[in-house]
Amino acid sequence: MSGELFVVDNLTVTLPTSRGPVDVVKNVSFTVGRDETVGIVGESGSGKSMTALAVLGLLPRGARTSGSVRLDGAELLGRSDRDLRSVRGNAISMVFQDPLSSLNPYYTVGLQIEEMYRTHRGGTRRAARRVAIEALERVHIPDAARRVDHYPHQFSGGMRQRVMIAMALCCSPSLLIADEPTTALDVTVQAQILELLGELQSTTGTGMMFITHDLAVISSIAQRVLVMQAGDPVEYGTAEQVFSDPRHEYTRMLLDAVPRIDDEVLS
Amino acid sequence: MMRYVLGRLGGVILILLAVCLFTYLIFFKLSPDPAVMICGKTCTPERIDSIRDVLGLNQPLLTQFWDFLSGIFVGRDYGSVHCSAPCLGYSFQTNESVWSMITARLPVSITVAVGAAVLWLLVGVIGGLVSAVKQGTWWDRSAMGLALGGVSVPNYVLALVLQYVLVVKLQLLPFPSAVPFADDPLLWLESYLMPWVVLAVGYACLYARLTRSNVIDTLAENYYRTARAKGLSGALIMRRHALRPALTPITTIFGMDFAGLLGGALITETVFGLNGIGKMAADSIAKNDQPVIMAVTLLAAFFVVIGNVVVDLLYTALDPRVRVVSS
């Protein structure tokens, strides 16, 4: 498939452990197109997050990778840390699970957006501050010009995740990796964040790699789905196909585990 | 914020008053009769009575305490002798004014404390930092082993060993003698070097271990990972997202340790014979010189309480999460 924005080809991640090296991600392959959302689903420990961290070269010390990860045709695996810095946050940015611990409590949200923008785009603090305010407005944070000077602990959980998303998108990346972005939030806020991500994607054309263990979330946002189990990719296909006609036993198990509102109550 | 500061200062005054009262009760009421001590060997009951009268020891306890307290602020009279404010009384041993004893010795203690603090902060924080970044390497292991050893060496042992090796055997340094900086800067440096090192070693080891564990904790924080995922430069990540969070708690501990030292480094000053507040405290306790004991106790309490407030105020400036919400 030429012209794909982002290609992961046969990615394997090996971590050193006290009992020898362990493959936590095994031969994973998938692609993300422009404007497309690919969901990666699996239980915790299935290697979803490791896949994401491998893409940006943020794996724990001693980790080894093989295979290929390409953005717009350029190989990312095996590049030096210094080299990857221009990619991180700029071409590929990331939103993490817990927005409170993922933002630095010692600095205003404005400064945390500004430092990232200025690292990649340069310019004055004033210009960066304007960008930060615009970024906050884009994720519908009310009174952004005032809120830009607030600290993370002064925001609610949902608003904090909006800040993270605003930050992730401030350099207009071509790929956004969202690692369980709604897991730490309550259900109504989850829906708002998903809606926001969908809306932003349709205006920016950013490709999205959406990691979650929540099948309901995936079905509402992803066009393609990769199911992982213990580091193995067990099923990969369009969302429709995976959900309506799961080929793999494990996918079926996952789908059956989702409680349904029309389930019969056991008497 | 203003209200918070005023509230804290009010608390400080109350605490200092309480410290005053308890020290007064302990040292003047529970220890031997001062009049007998002053009177000496050739003593007559009449002389004891007149001393009691001059010191106000015949007054009710509360009046005595009030006289002592008001003496600090407005001065007081001992018989025909006027002791001008701030009056902390006169030494039973030398008849010197306690206040002038303090003002003469405080610069020595401050010099010892400041020099040691600079030394232990530099060595401790930088050592801990390097250990954290090079976690698990031979550097880390040997530095932390050394730090553990350093914490365990008592001050006076180190002081005596250093003195023997550097002064007596190798004759590299003069015997410490609190030379004023203005007299001879080089000699000043040489004479304070050993006290600084002796005092700093224990703290430096403690701070190295503390810094190391704080930095390692911070490197595991999610916001550190975020900072890396944002593509920031290594220096910016280190400064903003590792050092600032890791070192902020250390300021609290430093404030307390430093304030404690301003009240005199008892052992170090005594071993090196430096005429600071610490040595004055040791001497006065040995000779039961109550006005001096009282004064050094109050002085130490004063520094600790003020240090506490400064640390708290500093902390609200350093950590936005504890900042008082202004309504």
Strand locations in B114-209 (E):
none
Please report residues of A whose CB lies closer than 8 A to that of B241: 104
The pLDDT tens digits for B204-245 are 999 999 999 999 999 999 999 999 999 999 999 999 999 999
Which residue in the set B229, B241, B318 is minimally distant from A58, CB to CB? B229
- Residue B309 gets which letter from DSSP? H
Strand B81-83, strand B76-78: pairing: antiparallel
- B241–A167: do the CB atoms touch at under 8 Å? no
**Which conformational region is residue A172 in: left (phi greater than 0), alpha (psi within -120 to 50 degrees), or beta?**
left
Fold of domain B101-322 = MetI-like fold (1.10.3720)
**What does the pLDDT read at residue A2?**
46
Nearest Cα residue in chain A from B243: A106
Which residue in the set A90, A103, A119 is minimally distant from B226, CB to CB? A103
> How far is the C-alpha of B98 from the C-alpha of B87, rounded, in Å?
8
The rounded radius of gyration (Å) of the Cα atoms in chain A is 19
- B232–A89: do the CB atoms touch at under 8 Å? yes
Fold of domain A6-257 = Rossmann fold (3.40.50)
In chain B, CATH 1.10.3720.10 sits at 101-322
Please report residues of A whose CB lies closer than 8 A to that of B219: none
- My answer on whether omega of the bond before B86 falls inside 30° of 0, hence cis, is yes
Which residue in the set A89, A104, A107 is minimally distant from B229, CB to CB? A89
Which residue in the set A88, A104, A106 is minimally distant from B231, CB to CB? A88
The pLDDT tens digits for B104-139 are 999 999 999 999 999 999 999 999 999 998 988 999
Write b or e for each residue in B162-189: b if 16 or more Cβ atoms lie within 10 A of its Cβ, otherwise e: bbeebbeeeeebeebebbeeeeeeeebe
The rounded radius of gyration (Å) of the Cα atoms in chain B is 24
Cα distance from A257 to chain B (closest Cα, Å)?
A: 30
A16-30, A249-263, B100-114: the lowest-pLDDT one: A249-263
> How far is the C-alpha of B242 from the C-alpha of B246, rounded, in Å?
6
Sign of CA dihedral B278, B281, B283, B285: negative
CA distances from B295 to A129, B51, B69, B251 (A): 55, 21, 12, 28
Task: List the single best residue of A61, A90, A102, A172 to mutate versus B (max B Cβ within 10 A).
Answer: A102
- A93–B233: do the CB atoms touch at under 8 Å? no
Residue B235 exposure: Cα atoms within 13 Å on the Cβ side: 1
Distance from chain centroid for Cα A123: 28
Please report residues of A whose CB lies closer than 8 A to that of B232: 85, 89, 115-116, 119
Please report residues of B whose CB lies closer than 8 A to that of A93: 229-230
- The span from the first CA to the last CA of chain A, in angstroms, equals 52
The pLDDT tens digits for A42-101 are 888 889 999 999 999 999 888 999 999 999 999 999 899 999 999 999 999 999 989 999
The pLDDT tens digits for A179-233 are 999 888 888 888 899 999 999 998 888 999 999 988 888 888 899 999 999 999 9
For helices B155-162 and B185-219, give the axis angle rounded to 10 degrees: 140
- B230–A89: do the CB atoms touch at under 8 Å? yes
The pLDDT tens digits for B50-91 are 888 888 888 888 888 888 888 888 888 887 788 888 888 888
- B226–A87: do the CB atoms touch at under 8 Å? no
The pLDDT tens digits for B139-196 are 999 999 999 998 888 888 888 898 888 888 888 888 777 778 888 888 888 889 999 9
Cα distance from A142 to chain B (closest Cα, Å)?
A: 21
Cα distance from B87 to chain A (closest Cα, Å)?
A: 46
- Locus of tokens 């109350």: B14
Please report residues of B whose CB lies closer than 8 A to that of A163: none
- Locus of tokens 């008592």: B154
- B222–A101: do the CB atoms touch at under 8 Å? yes
Please report residues of B whose CB lies closer than 8 A to that of A170: none
Mean pLDDT in chain A? 90
Residues 6+ apart with CB under 8 A from A84: A56, A57, A76, B231
- B223–A120: do the CB atoms touch at under 8 Å? no
